[in-house]
Structure 1
Amino acid sequence: MKYRRFGKTNLRLSVFSLGTMRCLASGENVERVVRHALSLGINHIETARGYGSSESDLGKVLAQLEAGQFYITSKIPPTPDRDLMERSIDESLSRLGVASLDCLAIHGLNTPEHLEWVLSPTGCMAAVQKAVADGRVRHVGFSTHAPLELILAAIDTGLFEFVNLHYYLFFQRHTAAIAIAHQRDLGVLIISPADKGGRLYTPPPQLQHLCAPQTPLALNYRFLLSDPRITTLSVGPAIPEELNEPLQVADRDEALNPTEIAALERLQAQMSATLGPEQCQQCYECLPCPESVAIPEILRLRNLAIAYDMDDYGKYRYGMLENAGHWFPGTKGNRCTHCGDCLPRCPAQLDIPTLLLDAHQRLQGQQGRRLWG
């Protein structure tokens, strides 16, 4: 296991962090997962107030372990109510059975209103700063599903020491956020690179072929670990054995080798060949949409479905639209009214309304929801 400095927190975290959202079947299961993670060299656990009984279940396990074996991060949603945040911090500490948190993240800083709550003198950050001053919290960051512009604005406040965000081989929109976070010496945790990054535990044969000899999951992890600006990747096993495959690359944070680079080049060539002039280049110039259609995200999922047969992933993510609030904002492709507002802004001159309808027909399926509210 490799370890990296978590930005200005100066904590040295394992390059894989244990996420606890999925290992909640029973207290016994949580204990098995945590002990296995420890045996593999993981020294950072990430949980959240909103993950069901995760904090309480984790607290029972921590009580049985020697103190100091793990760094603990918990996450609490933003609120305009300073007193509510104060109570939430104390409740999380009580559930975890600890006197202080190594890291506290504002959980889901996703909208301009959330950022206003953080900046308000009577909002949640006032309570967080008090907790830092009296020792209940050591370091403060934020997790986000926000647009790039809001992420950059949150970093620019200077209030945070780390950021948890989405950034993967198949979603590189937040490249600028990685760069700015590094310039500001913020630690960077990547959220769910296996699942949100492409459902890479169960890749389609086409994607496996293009990534060979490495698996798509390993290639995605190597793409991330080869970037020294990134500190740690969240891995959220439901059972202990699900830690084994990801951690096969836990000692490999060197630059990408020729075989891996060749696989990335094959992926790009396949994308260009199969989509041709219909490929969305993810410039986001089409936004805003009068109907709030999530144009770039929908066309990204269409790109992946056509180029790599990632239909299962596309349907999974597409089904979240209109069903996950600010965690996955925007409306589906069938909401397009063919107003033409986006057309002159597209550098590639794509027929966006037609592509949105095609994406909707390909990807519509069961409605999705977040695992935890």
Structure 2
Amino acid sequence: MHYRRFGTTNHHISTFSLGTMRCLASEDIFQQTVARALAQGINHIETARGYGQSERFLGRTLQALKVAPDTLVLTSKIPPSPDASSFDRHIDETLERLQVSQLDCLALHGINTWQHLDWIRHPQGCMQAAQAARDDGRIGHLGFSTHGFREVIATTIETGYFDFVNLHYYYFFQRHEPVIELAHHQDMGVFIISPADKGGMLYRPPDTLKALCHPFDPLLLTYRWLLSDPRVTTLSIGPAIPAEISQELATLDDGPLTEQEQAALDRLAARPTTALGADLCRQCYACLPCPEAIHIPEVLRLRTLAQAYDMTAFGQYRYGMFENAGHWFPGRKANRCTSCGDCLPRCPENLDIPTLLHQTHTQLQGPERRRLWG
């Protein structure tokens, strides 16, 4: 396992981190999953107040496994709040559940909107409690997680309040590259959220994607793409069972890409233009805002992945979250389009956006899917 400095926390953490949102079928499975991760050399475990029994399971597991505190970096997450007193109480509850007197890293869980940013700037908001907990030793370092738009993320980074950021950035979603650079410039740790799942359900790649990536496994190739970037600290894995922690993670190279790896990535990069031609959305976001609150670029990104790489199952999974996940995945479904034409003059590619939206809805509207945590 390779290790990297996690920004100004100065913790050296494994290039893969264990996320504990999914391994909750039983406490025994949870404990086995943590034990396997530790055996692979993973030394950073992330949980959250909102992950069901995860904090309690983790506290009891670390006691049962007799894990020395100085061998492990623990991160938990608490949602932002406009109320300092309730946030302070939540910190104490997290410490109690984890059975620790100090938490290495605390992230504000989901600074996704401008309102969330206002809450952390407010003098009586959650940052008052978070900073007080850091000052009195209950918290080591502060960060934030985000599913928000790039502009919200950049502004949050620029506050200077945080030592690390958890965000979405993948081979198949590179829009956040500027905030990766901004975080690096601020010497922040960069934690990539769920690249196997949110990055494309790459643990079940379609045949088209496997052929384009050959001789490499699509998941491992995109892991390599991320780890070849020295600005990235760690990638989250979120196994449901111990067997989902691949032994290959412990030995995966984190150096520069090889010529053969770059050739495979070049094939991936060329595929959308070949497959979609003049109908390719290039993700400039000039079409927003939409009067019907449709997240047009994200809808069309999912369309591109389905048509270029046959990643239809992933497209259906993510598309099904529209109107079902609030600020965690904002936007209405594409069939809400009224063909008003408001977006058309702003599109530099002159795409027939209303037609593409309705086509995408037909292709990706699958069965209803419930979020794991509401």
Paired residue secondary structure (2:33): helix
Aligned to 2:59: 59
Residue type of the alignment partner of 1:71:
V
Aligned to 2:200: 198
Paired residue secondary structure (1:95): helix
Distance 1:285 1:369 in 2: 31
Equivalences for residues 81-120 of structure 1 within 5 A: 81-120=83-122
Distance 2:344 2:368 in 1: 29
TM-score, scaled to structure 2: 0.98
Q: Name whichever of 36-45 and 263-272 sits farther off.
A: 263-272
Equivalences for residues 1-373 of structure 1 within 5 A: 1-64=1-64, 65-68=66-69, 69-244=71-246, 247=249, 250-373=251-374
The share of aligned pairs that are identical, in percent, is: 61
Contact 1:323–1:367 (Cα < 8 Å) also in 2: no
Residue type of the alignment partner of 2:308:
A
CA RMSD of aligned residues (A): 0.9
Paired residue secondary structure (1:25): coil
Distance 1:142 1:225 in 2: 21
Paired residue secondary structure (2:339): coil
Residue type of the alignment partner of 1:370:
R
Consecutive unaligned residues in structure 1, runs of 5 or more:
none
Distance 2:248 2:289 in 1: 37
Contact 2:48–2:78 (Cα < 8 Å) also in 1: yes
Residue type of the alignment partner of 2:350:
Q
The Cα shift of 1:245 comes to: 5.4
Contact 2:196–2:219 (Cα < 8 Å) also in 1: yes
The Cα shift of 1:11 comes to: 0.5
Distance 1:368 1:343 in 2: 32
Runs of 4+ in 1 over 3 A off after TM superposition: none
Distance 1:284 1:146 in 2: 14
Residue type of the alignment partner of 1:198:
G
Contact 1:217–1:246 (Cα < 8 Å) also in 2: no
Distance 1:194 1:118 in 2: 30
The Cα shift of 1:309 comes to: 0.4
Paired residue secondary structure (2:106): strand
Distance 1:221 1:192 in 2: 11
Residue type of the alignment partner of 1:204:
P
Distance 1:13 1:288 in 2: 39
The Cα shift of 1:117 comes to: 0.6
User: Which digits, 9 at most, give the CA deviation of each residue in 1:97-121, with x for residues without a partner?
Assistant: 0001000000011111111110101
Contact 2:40–2:247 (Cα < 8 Å) also in 1: no
Residue type of the alignment partner of 2:109:
H
Q: Name whichever of 1-10 and 237-246 sits farther off.
A: 237-246
User: Which digits, 9 at most, give the CA deviation of each residue in 1:193-217, with x for residues without a partner?
Assistant: 0000000010100100001101110
Residue type of the alignment partner of 1:60:
R
The Cα shift of 1:319 comes to: 0.1
Distance 2:18 2:284 in 1: 33
User: Which digits, 9 at most, give the CA deviation of each residue in 1:35-66, with x for residues without a partner?
Assistant: 11111100000000000000000010111223
Contact 1:324–1:369 (Cα < 8 Å) also in 2: no
The Cα shift of 1:336 comes to: 0.7
Consecutive unaligned residues in structure 2, runs of 5 or more:
none
Contact 1:2–1:253 (Cα < 8 Å) also in 2: yes
Distance 2:252 2:301 in 1: 31
Distance 1:280 1:171 in 2: 13
What number of residue pairs does the alignment pair up? Answer: 372
Paired residue secondary structure (1:63): helix
Contact 2:79–2:109 (Cα < 8 Å) also in 1: yes
Distance 2:165 2:45 in 1: 15
Residue type of the alignment partner of 1:282:
Q
The Cα shift of 1:246 comes to: 5.5
The Cα shift of 1:371 comes to: 1.1
